[in-house]
């Protein structure tokens, strides 16, 4: 690398000063002063340039930056040298830019106004007409998982500063990455011009105006993905200094001219794919797998530590990001505000209190009114379940483990919906705390759940033919799915033996960690729309599946916090601490039947071959 000779040979002048610029994570950047001008010269990473499409990608990115410049966006574009944006010199590739007299901003220097300008510029970039560039929209379908354990066996691993933190985290990575891949692919339907790296280090400010630099990653991408990433960058997330107001400002300004319509949650989760890719790349750089440059390896070692921390913080922030984006993009006036006003007017104990819209769920619309929750059954097809919950609360009003119901109305005289007023339970769902707990704390929680379930399971109930209920359920699904093979008939025959004896009680029937509210060690069970008389082990049909797919019952806030490794011994803990459950004949076989029913039911709804295949495999295991 000889910058002085490079400048002379390419007519940039005689060099009078060279200083290294900070910020580049893959390439090296220098400020070079000559007697003809001052330049920023980028020396491209040889490993990057060895990739087959690297050269063409750089050329395309500079065409994009010039398109942005021609549309009034202030940018820094590479200079043409011998009609090329990239110059090969002594087996290295160089890019030359006019040096920008400006400064990048630190987290402390970034204001709400800066964030608004970034949001506005992003909307302008994403609205660029790129037809004349003849860009190819290369939709990626991610399926790859990585052998994270292989890096531990690398001879350099024990010398890495990130060793301990990597060992604490790596086992959960493919669980997260598998779901991130699925969400990325699902959200990968929108495409527009994107800069793809517009964080604070790539925006220079000449006082009040931003100058967008470093367009090497530019291309066709999902604009919502870039919006989310840039909102995070400009809100201080990368340096563990997240500011909700700044995050909101970027998005709020953006949606003034370019609305966000689709796949918000999938986009948020899908963005983890890039972080895992970056982690893998820097692991290999730091361990000497793809780089012999000691300076580069040291930089990569730092990036590994930084990325491990960033992935953990990102996962914990997913729920908050989703909530912010939903609040910014939903209608200002909710469709049921007039309904809640009539309910308040009817119930004197609610009047004069502050009310707030919480959510419009698939079945119910929910408002919070100080210490109360008002649930309105706005989905008329759910009225039977809603009425079932009201009856449950009336019959179990002395149960201290459930919320109090203060009022309910199914007459439709006040409003044209069923509604109920419940005690507002403060706290977090059990999903939100389980992954943080020690094994001792988890056993304590399981014991608390057992006591709660006993309070329902020991309620005296009328006789119920649970065996017939299970067999009818299976037969109905098989009939609707046109499944009549012998293997399914054998399953029904086995049910005669497995379900001959049943310990009956009141069962919740939707028992999962999203329906437990945890507050200072106390648990409260909620959501009784599906409650029924049944065998007590039927309440564990969902929890018994947590060993493989615990996130299926999590909400947007807790989905990516939920890892199967945290739930491997869950069902064993319940069996160890619940004697009546442990003494049920054929308990494990019954739990397997419940799982098969769920899989067959999913196949009935979605007709995915893998669901039927998995159900058949479970039946074969049962029939051995």
pLDDT at 524: 98
DSSP one-letter code for 287: T
Condensed to tens digits (0 to 9), the pLDDT of residues 557-600 reads 899 999 999 999 999 999 999 999 999 999 999 999 999 999 99
Residues in the chain: 624
pLDDT at 468: 98
pLDDT at 262 over 70: no
pLDDT at 27: 83
pLDDT at 617: 95
pLDDT at 333: 44
Which two structure tokens, joined as six digits, stand for 406?
Answer: 């203060």
d(CA 199, CA 97): 19
pLDDT at 361 over 60: no
Which two structure tokens, joined as six digits, stand for 361?
Answer: 């769920």
Which two structure tokens, joined as six digits, stand for 278?
Answer: 């970056």
What percentage of the chain carries pLDDT values higher than 90? 77
Three-class SS of residue 486?
A: helix
* Four-point Cα dihedral 612, 618, 621, 624, nearest 10: -60
Which residues, listed in sequence order, are joined to residue 507 by a DSSP beta bridge?
Answer: 532
pLDDT at 332: 44
pLDDT at 498 over 70: yes
d(CA 144, CA 140): 11
**Contact predicate 329/259, CB 8 Å:** yes
Q: Which residues contact 610 (CB under 8 A, 6 or more apart)?
A: none
User: Closest Cα to residue 456, out of 512, 395, 406, 517?
Assistant: 395
Confidence of residue 401 (pLDDT cuts 50, 70, 90): very high
pLDDT at 357: 79
User: How much is the mean pLDDT over the chain?
Assistant: 93
Which secondary-structure segment (H or E) carries 507?
strand 504-507
For residue 497, count other CB atoms closer than 10 A to its CB: 12
Mean pLDDT along residues 606-618: 93
Three-class SS of residue 388?
A: helix
Using alpha carbons only, give the angle 437, 441, 447 rounded to the nearest 5 degrees.
130
User: Closest Cα to residue 331, out of 373, 362, 360, 366?
Assistant: 360
Condensed to tens digits (0 to 9), the pLDDT of residues 71-122 reads 999 998 888 888 888 888 988 999 898 888 889 999 999 999 999 999 999 9
- What are the structural domains, with CATH classification, of the chain? 3-98 (3.30.200.20), 112-329 (3.90.1200.10), 337-423 (3.30.200.20), 430-623 (3.90.1200.10)
pLDDT at 328: 87
Report residue 145: phi and psi, to 5°.
Answer: -115, 160
Which two structure tokens, joined as six digits, stand for 572?
Answer: 């064993």
pLDDT at 360 over 60: no
Which residues, listed in sequence order, are joined to residue 41 by a DSSP beta bridge?
Answer: 30, 96
Report residue 362: phi and psi, to 5°.
Answer: -65, -35
pLDDT at 275 over 70: yes
Condensed to tens digits (0 to 9), the pLDDT of residues 7-35 reads 999 999 999 999 988 755 678 889 999 99
Burial 265-279 (b: 16+ CB within 10 A, else e): bbbbbbbbbebbebb
* Four-point Cα dihedral 85, 88, 92, 98, nearest 10: -30
Which two structure tokens, joined as six digits, stand for 491?
Answer: 């399953």
Confidence of residue 260 (pLDDT cuts 50, 70, 90): confident
Condensed to tens digits (0 to 9), the pLDDT of residues 199-234 reads 999 999 988 889 998 888 898 989 999 999 999 999
pLDDT at 470 over 50: yes
Which two structure tokens, joined as six digits, stand for 25?
Answer: 């994570």
User: Closest Cα to residue 14, out of 44, 29, 40, 35?
Assistant: 35
d(CA 55, CA 53): 6
* Four-point Cα dihedral 244, 248, 249, 252, nearest 10: -170
Lowest-pLDDT range, 213-217, 330-334, 600-604?
Answer: 330-334
HEC per residue, 293-331 = CHHHHHHHHHHHHHHHHHHHHHHHHHHHHHHHHHHHHCC
Lowest-pLDDT range, 128-132, 334-338, 384-388, 505-509?
Answer: 334-338
**Contact predicate 434/566, CB 8 Å:** yes
pLDDT at 102: 87
> Can you give the pTM of this predicted structure?
0.83
For residue 453, count other CB atoms closer than 10 A to its CB: 24
Please report which residue ranges of 547-608 form alpha helices under DSSP H.
570-577, 579-582, 587-606
């Amino acid at each position: 690398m000889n910058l002085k000779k490079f400048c002379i040979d390419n007519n940039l002048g005689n060099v009078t000063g060279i200083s290294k610029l900070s910020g580049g994570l893959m390439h090296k950047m220098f400020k070079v002063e000559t007697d003809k001008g001052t330049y920023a010269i980028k020396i491209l990473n040889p490993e990057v340039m060895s990739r087959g499409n690297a050269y063409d990608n750089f050329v395309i990115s500079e065409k994009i930056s010039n398109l942005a410049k021609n549309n009034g966006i202030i940018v820094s574009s590479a200079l043409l040298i011998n009609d090329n944006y990239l110059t090969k010199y002594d087996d290295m590739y160089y890019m030359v830019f006019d040096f920008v007299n400006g400064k990048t901003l630190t987290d402390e220097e970034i204001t709400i106004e800066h964030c608004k300008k970034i949001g506005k510029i992003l909307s302008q970039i994403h609205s660029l007409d790129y037809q004349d560039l003849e860009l190819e929209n290369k939709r990626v379908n991610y399926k790859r998982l990585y052998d994270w354990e292989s890096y531990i066996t690398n001879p350099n691993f024990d010398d890495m500063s990130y060793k301990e933190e990597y060992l604490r985290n790596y086992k959960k990575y493919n669980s997260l990455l598998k779901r991130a891949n699925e969400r990325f692919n699902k959200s990968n339907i929108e495409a527009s011009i994107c800069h793809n790296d517009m964080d604070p280090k790539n925006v220079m400010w000449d006082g009040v105006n931003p100058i967008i630099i470093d367009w090497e990653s530019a291309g066709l991408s999902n604009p919502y993905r870039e919006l989310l990433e840039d909102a995070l960058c400009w809100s201080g997330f990368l340096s563990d200094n997240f500011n909700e107001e700044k995050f909101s400002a970027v998005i709020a300004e953006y949606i003034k001219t370019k609305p966000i319509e689709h796949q918000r949650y999938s986009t948020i989760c899908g963005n983890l794919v890039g972080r895992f890719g970056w982690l893998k790349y820097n692991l290999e750089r730091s361990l000497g797998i793809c780089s012999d440059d000691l300076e580069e390896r040291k930089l990569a070692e730092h990036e590994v530590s930084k990325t491990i921390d960033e992935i953990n913080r990102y996962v914990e922030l997913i729920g908050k990001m989703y909530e912010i984006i939903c609040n910014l993009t939903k209608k200002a006036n909710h469709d049921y505000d007039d309904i809640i006003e009539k309910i308040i007017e009817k119930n004197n104990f609610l009047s004069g209190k502050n009310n707030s819209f919480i959510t419009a769920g698939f079945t119910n619309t929910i408002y919070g009114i100080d210490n109360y929750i008002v649930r309105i059954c706005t989905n008329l097809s759910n009225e039977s379940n809603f009425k079932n919950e009201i009856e449950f609360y009336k019959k179990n009003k002395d149960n201290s483990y459930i919320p109090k119901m203060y009022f309910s109305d199914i007459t439709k005289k006040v409003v044209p919906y069923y509604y109920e007023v419940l005690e507002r339970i403060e706290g977090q769902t059990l999903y939100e705390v389980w992954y943080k707990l020690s094994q001792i704390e988890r056993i304590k929680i399981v014991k608390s759940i057992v006591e709660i379930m006993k309070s329902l399971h020991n309620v005296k109930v009328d006789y119920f033919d649970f065996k017939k209920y299970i067999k009818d359920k299976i037969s109905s699904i098989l009939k609707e799915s046109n499944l009549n093979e012998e293997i399914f008939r054998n399953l029904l025959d086995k049910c005669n033996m497995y379900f001959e004896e049943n310990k009956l009680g009141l069962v919740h029937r939707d028992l999962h960690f999203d329906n437990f509210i945890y507050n200072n060690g106390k648990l409260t069970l909620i959501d009784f729309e599906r409650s029924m008389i049944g065998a007590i082990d039927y309440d564990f049909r969902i929890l018994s599946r947590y060993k493989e797919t615990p996130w299926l019952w999590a909400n947007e806030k807790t989905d990516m916090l939920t890892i199967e490794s945290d739930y491997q011994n869950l069902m064993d803990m319940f069996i160890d601490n619940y004697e009546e459950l442990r003494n049920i004949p054929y308990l494990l076989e019954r739990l397997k039947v419940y799982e098969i029913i769920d899989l067959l039911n999913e196949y009935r709804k979605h007709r995915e071959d893998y669901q039927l295949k998995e159900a058949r495999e479970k039946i074969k295991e049962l029939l051995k």
